[in-house]
Structure 1
Amino acid sequence: MGQCPFHPKPYKTKASTLATFLFKRRSWLDGLYERSYKMMMGRVKMPGFDLYVVNDPEQVRRIMVEDVKNFPKSQLLHELLEPLLGASIFTTNDKVWKKQRELLRPSFEMTRVSKVFNLMRDATDDMMTKLTNYQNGAIVEVDEIMTFVTADVIFRTILSSKLDEQKGKLVLEAFETVQEETTKTALREMFCFPKWLSRFLGENKRLKAASVIRKILSDIIQPRYNNAQNDIGKYEDILSSLLQVVDAETNQKFTFEEILDQVSMLFLAGHETTASSLTWTLYILSISPKEQQKAYEEIIKVVGNGVFEIEHIKEMKYVANVFKEALRLYPPVGFFARETREDRKMRDKLIKKGSGVVVAPWLIHRHEKFWKNPHTFDPTRHENKDNIKKDTYMPFGMGERICIGQGFAMQESVLILANILRKYELELEENFVPDIVGRLTIRSANGMRIKFTKREQCEKN
């Protein structure tokens, strides 16, 4: 049996509504209790909101695949994310979403993902150069490194623009504020706080942080948008695809605001979720020496000390399975928020129109009925898809709304992990325990401190 990485121990019993508000505002994970990991469906009663948590795979499929129209993305989620993402594919529904998805699809077909591989590799090379500045055996704050490199990958692959340190610091600090304040704002909404009080309690701070990110992205996009016709063929990035794509029905291109919304969404989904996943993968490997060694041996067998090429990515199957298992234990988006358009009977409950419905990968991926030793790290689970119970593994979502950048994220993550593992042995800092919080993504509030020791053959090179 493999390692059992840290996870917050659930409470024995469910907290009262008042206790939830007073003591569990920091993270939605704080509100979970033992039965959350065993139940098929549960109800959370808020003063202004009824919320149902659905773990039953049959009902999950109904919500995410079969009856999607009656379970649209949550309006509350849209309102919370609109200051940062605008009307992007992440929160829109119905015809608007379908149109956006079709217009974005060409940017994420495998040919396009292959074209941006060199840009991904350049960002990863810069990350490796940065790591050489640390002394051998140094404790590295991995969370910061992963957050910067994934943001840099997004800037290069979408915008052909390298993320400089100063701009990167601004963006990442602003997004940290958005994460923290959005969780608090959501809870205030559920407890029917008046808008003026919400603004007084930090809402303005959240809106300002979102505008900082949009301004930085806007300043890069605007000149490209203004000069789109003259730049045809000049760039190989995703923005060039977005600037040229035409709506088949209207024969219209994306407006500037529409492009800004989609790029903001791609930035959030593309850097934050991948940064979270990579941080947790490195954490797991740092406490799993056998699996770490096995991954290293595969990397050497596939690439040796040569340059990583795109064809190597598919050959590193064990590294990919390590990442997939990390995604199971620490899914970057721990819950998918939906709402009901009509009254719906589900199991033994009547879910009334307008109620919130949550499908939580965090719970389903660790559910005792679906997984053997659910909290244990075991990459071999992913060697055969038949070993995984249907509709119980969904780190990228499922159904028509499955993450459009899934292939992009897998390619980038295997590349980054392979670069690090080829050069360094990882070991968690002594006595370090991650402080797991669930906000927009699942993160460690106290970072991730890992000791990086150069492998012997790297010291000779």
Structure 2
Amino acid sequence: MQQSAPIRPESPAPADAGRLPAHVPLVKEPWGIWRSFQAARRNVLEIIPEIATRQPIVSGRTGKRWHMVMDPPSLKRILRDRLADYPKSDVTKNILRPAIGESLFIAEGAHWHWQRRAAAPVFSHRNVSGLAPIMSAAAERSCARLAPFAESGGARAADLFEEMVTATFEVISDVTFSGGEGFDREEVHKAIDAYIAQTAKVSLMDVVGVPTWVPRPGRVMSGAALKTMKRVSDAAIESRRTRPATGTPDLLELMMAGEDPETKRRMSTPELRDNLLTFIVAGHETTALTLSWALYLCAFDEGVQAAARGEAQAVLAGRAATAQDVPNLPLTRRIIDETLRLYPPAAFLSRTAQAPDTLCGREVRKGDTVMIPVYALHRNHLLWDDPDAFRPDRFADPRAIDRFAYLPFGDGPRICIGASFALQEAVIILATLLSRFRFEAIPGRAPKPVMILTLRPEGGVWLKVHKA
């Protein structure tokens, strides 16, 4: 079957069409390599055929054989049972390795194992809870920046995506390099944005399967941004080696103290830098996206927003949320969970089969690309009731949801190491904002979900900000 990437729709569906929040209308007609490449450069989600939301697996060939898998038992096989047979795809590594080296996100085999063992204690419940005051302080500063938009005389519109990027970058930079010696936040932030803009798009050579050693022009041109990120990070790490630890340890201090219990190996400066850059990029971008989409959804459904505001105001009584408040904010957490279902930041994962296998009765050959379109998985009609609707209460009983039908952080041994950190931060900031403001949708300004490296709201998330 020559089922390949679909034709791009003429325009996105309106956010209020059938009272469904913004989504990508997946289409049905197959096409060839050139259009697949164009679509992937523009929005990776556009290469997902609509049938992927109604079947457990879709296979085809676009330059090379591929399979999109939406079947929970098969996903368990890929992500847990036969992890070594399904490493991250060459395309993913080509895009990310120049920036984050052989860090946890990229490394395979023994090199991954020792880093994971060394880093796991860093994200213990105790350490994550200890970093919560930084999140609460960032929530307070965000409220202060938004307050002028809600002053008397009428609410004004604000781009909540831009604001959430600011807030979460403050958090990740403070918990990574507290004190900031030798660390220019603005310089690193600009370098990260430049790197993503220049290198994260899929190359035609990726689509047709050109060997990985052939340079991709866009990635060759990203050298300046990469050098800036690495230079600033290396300087901060070396400075910290000579500075005595004070107060609650930050991520850098915890990582420097981390040791693989089996090999007793500790991370060198380049290894620390690559992993810290991974945490910085992932730690602010993905949480900012989750919060932006959550605020959009709250504005989309004013009833849910009002209920969440009531919950937050009752618990917080005017102050910012803390780690201790998180268990008492169940609706806020369900909103975050449902947001991650509808708009997972990592909405499209890719693996390369290293051995023959069978998935959903379909033959998988060595070298085949095995894709996990998380966006389609989370909207699959075989797994979810009314999958395109915003319904936070579907998470009221997490036991009712198949573990491998919901993968905002992946699963198996390579599940996102910072998941608990991200969820705590998202609940703290969202609850604090909802307790003090009411967010109103602006007709005609619904964001469009567009994925290049992560699932971003094209055009920002513009909402009117009112006092609560």
Q: What residue is the counterpart of 2:273 in the other structure? A: 260
**Please, which runs of 5 or more residues in structure 1 have no aligned partner?**
456-461
Q: What residue is the counterpart of 2:193 in the other structure? A: 176
> What TM-score does the superposition give when structure 2 sets the normalisation length?
0.89
Within the candidate set 355, 370, 388, 2:368 is matched to 355
Q: Cα RMSD over matched residues?
A: 2.4
Q: Which amino acid aligns with 2:225?
A: A
Q: What residue is the counterpart of 2:420 in the other structure? A: 407
Superposition deviation, residue 188 in structure 1: 2.9
Superposition deviation, residue 263 in structure 1: 0.2
Instruction: Say how many residue pairs are matched.
Output: 448
Cα offsets for 1:102-122 (capped at 9, x unmatched): 111111001101111112222
Matched, 1:231 2:247: no
Cα offsets for 1:167-200 (capped at 9, x unmatched): 5554444333433443434443223569999654
**Please, which runs of 5 or more residues in structure 2 have no aligned partner?**
1-17
1:155·1:161 contact (CA, 8 Å) conserved in 2?
no
Q: What residue is the counterpart of 2:430 in the other structure? A: 417
Superposition deviation, residue 22 in structure 1: 3.6
Matched, 1:147 2:175: no
Shifted more, 127-136 versus 34-43: the winner is: 127-136
Q: Which amino acid aligns with 2:33?
A: T
CA distance in 1, matches of 2:384, 2:452: 25
Superposition deviation, residue 224 in structure 1: 0.6
2:348·2:373 contact (CA, 8 Å) conserved in 1?
yes
Residue 126 to residue 218, structure 1, CA distance change in 2 (3 Å): farther
Matched, 1:33 2:49: yes
Alignment of 1:367-446 (within 5 A): 367-446=380-459
Q: Provide the secondary structure at the position in 1 that maps to 2:354.
A: coil
1:334·1:438 contact (CA, 8 Å) conserved in 2?
yes
Q: Which amino acid aligns with 2:358?
A: K
Q: Which amino acid aligns with 1:5?
A: P
CA distance in 1, matches of 2:75, 2:265: 36
Matched, 1:124 2:142: no
Q: What residue is the counterpart of 1:77 in the other structure? A: 92
Q: What residue is the counterpart of 2:5 in the other structure? A: none
Matched, 1:160 2:178: yes
CA distance in 1, matches of 2:125, 2:260: 21
Q: Which amino acid aligns with 1:428?
A: A
Residue 130 to residue 35, structure 1, CA distance change in 2 (3 Å): same
1:152·1:162 contact (CA, 8 Å) conserved in 2?
no
Superposition deviation, residue 247 in structure 1: 2.9
Within the candidate set 89, 100, 103, 1:88 is matched to 103
Q: What residue is the counterpart of 1:222 in the other structure? A: 238
Residue 231 to residue 28, structure 1, CA distance change in 2 (3 Å): same
Alignment of 1:268-279 (within 5 A): 268-279=281-292
CA distance in 2, matches of 1:425, 1:348: 50
CA distance in 2, matches of 1:109, 1:24: 37
Q: What residue is the counterpart of 1:7 in the other structure? A: 23
Q: What residue is the counterpart of 1:191 in the other structure? A: 208
Residue 75 to residue 300, structure 1, CA distance change in 2 (3 Å): same
1:178·1:210 contact (CA, 8 Å) conserved in 2?
yes
Within the candidate set 257, 263, 266, 1:244 is matched to 257
Shifted more, 317-326 versus 189-198: the winner is: 189-198
Residue 382 to residue 196, structure 1, CA distance change in 2 (3 Å): closer
Q: What residue is the counterpart of 1:50 in the other structure? A: 65
Percent identity, aligned pairs only?
A: 27
Q: Which amino acid aligns with 2:72?
A: P
Q: Provide the secondary structure at the position in 2 that maps to 1:134.
A: helix
CA distance in 1, matches of 2:359, 2:179: 48
Matched, 1:112 2:112: no
